[in-house]
Amino acid sequence: MLMNFAEDFLAKADEKAFDTQHRNTINFNIGKYNTAVARGLSKFENLEASKRKAHVTKWRIMENLDKFLPEFEANFQKKGGKVIWANDTKEAQKEILSIIQKHNGKSVIKSKSMTTEELHLNDFLAEHGVESLESDLGEYIVQLLGQPPYHIVTPAMHLSKEDIAKLFHKKFGTPIEATPEQLTQKARELLREKYLTADIGITGGNFLIADTGSIALTENEGNARLTTTFPKVHIAIVGIEKVVPSLADLDLFWPLLASHGTGQNLTVYNTILSGPRQENETDGPEEMYVILLDNGRTNLLAQKEQRQALYCIRCGACLNACPVYKNIGGHSYNTTYSGPIGSIITPHFKGMNDFKHLSYASSLCGKCTEVCPVKIDIHKMLLLNRRDAATQNINSSTEKIGWNLWKRAMLKRSLMDFFGGKAKNFLLKTFFKKSWGKYRNMPEVADKSFSKQWEEYQKNNNDNLSI
């Protein structure tokens, strides 16, 4: 039986929206984020100018993607790297498994990467007898729980320190009252050995640099550097939209990503990798592969009005600003990318039929657009997705009939007034009590419409004047 993604979303959202413990945890964590980001953004001399420049740079990239990607490929290959193009999830999975088998790999150490989440890589490798371990602390925690990441930047945002202490106590026997520092130290002890013994290191890539043939990684824990240094083989899986023209562009994008993602001026570790270990170098992998992942991105690129969604640098700012996300949480979306940006791109990545409902999961307050560091017009993109769902004729028959009746009634006053208040209240309670009235009192429609009341008022006044 095929999953009805819309029904599943509504059920999960309904459950999470009234989970007070979840609400308290998220509000606390996002509150700390807001404080840090306000401090980080204050460091910009002219934040608006930086955002405009980033938007224009991204526009130029998307309009010339067919030039920048081959330039990156050529320059990366000159330094001994290998580039693989993957159209979709299956192709990428096949190529990754082929590389691992070629090198007789049995274990993989991973740094945080949303593209690997797109591929469901951990589950795929487990099915083929390859151990895959997350090295980012947040990713490691949700992997222990058997959950996907909750958030683009902070995978375990939905958990309190008490929740994590209970998890580590259950898994590793640490004290139930362990502090965050003690829990981090325990994770470090467990993971350090894995870096030394893993056959393959897998990362994503925050940026692809065309003119130097390099990938840029930004992180706070140092796990990505260890992942790319100790294993003999490094595989980077990067979306094709992540390319930037020049090394100089990092001067703009790294601070924007750090400030909007975590409130820092720069993240702690910023790394540029330009291929496998060279003869004069003492560390790094013997072989390095970059898998350029499409997986629906060219579908979105073909949409002239909506392709700006590919400008996203995955800072997570729109998620933290969104009132819907803050109430229903990341897991309700049942997608790799949640929140406003996920609601824009997922219907194009995975199909409008299954995921058009996400573009309706918004109050259209515009806060997501306001906070975006590359000035993506997010709430407009949501409306354009809704338009596309309607023009592609994929809305349900009930929805079509309902909107058609509403339109006809709104265009003709006599139809609006055909039913009296009692009849309208009966219709509301009969057909909308379950959907609209589950957690609220249904509105009471007056016996007479305002139009009728105004008509009577005018008539009475005219009669009085004539007397």
Domain finish residue from 395, 420, 441? 395
- Mean pLDDT per block of 10 residues along the chain (467 residues) reads 78 92 93 94 96 98 97 97 98 98 96 96 97 96 96 95 96 94 93 92 98 97 94 97 98 97 95 94 93 97 96 97 95 96 96 94 95 97 94 82 83 79 82 78 84 85 65
> Rounded to two decimals, what is the model's pTM?
0.90
Range of the domain at 274: 48-295
The secondary element (H helix, E strand) that includes residue 226 is helix 223-229
**In angstroms, rounded to a whole number, what is the distance separating the alpha carbons of residues 310 and 340?**
13
439 phi/psi in degrees, rounded to 5: -120, 10
Task: Looking at the structure, tell me whether residues 36 and 64 fall in a common domain.
Answer: no
Tokens at residue 297, please?
């991105």
Q: At 277, phi and psi to the nearest 5?
A: -60, 130
427 in any annotated domain: yes
Whole-number pLDDT of residue 397 = 80
Identify whether residues 138 and 251 lie together within a single domain: yes
Q: Are strands 207-209 and 233-239 parallel, antiparallel or unpaired?
A: unpaired
If you ran DSSP here, which 8-state letter would residue 232 be given?
S
Tell me, what DSSP letter sits at residue 207? E
Whole-angstrom Cα distance, residue 359 to residue 179?
Answer: 40
Residue 400 lies in a domain: no
Residue at 165 is within a domain: yes
One domain, residues 145 and 278: yes
Number of H helices, E strands in the chain: 24, 10
The Cα 290–Cα 274 span in angstroms is 10
Q: Are residues 238 and 98 in the same domain?
A: yes
Inter-residue contact 291 to 96 (CB < 8 Å): yes
DSSP-derived pairing of the beta strands 214-219 and 269-273: antiparallel
Q: What pLDDT is attached to residue 410?
A: 82
Do 324 and 224 share a domain, yes or no? Answer: no
Count of structural domains, the chain:
3
Same domain, 105 and 79: yes
C-alpha distance from residue 146 to each of 122, 139, 140, 150 (Å)? 11, 10, 10, 12
The CATH code of the domain that includes 174 is 3.40.50.10420
Check whether residue 389 and residue 335 sit in a common domain: yes
352 and 224 within one domain = no
Tell me what pLDDT residue 2 has: 43
Last residue of a domain, one of 264, 295, 326: 295
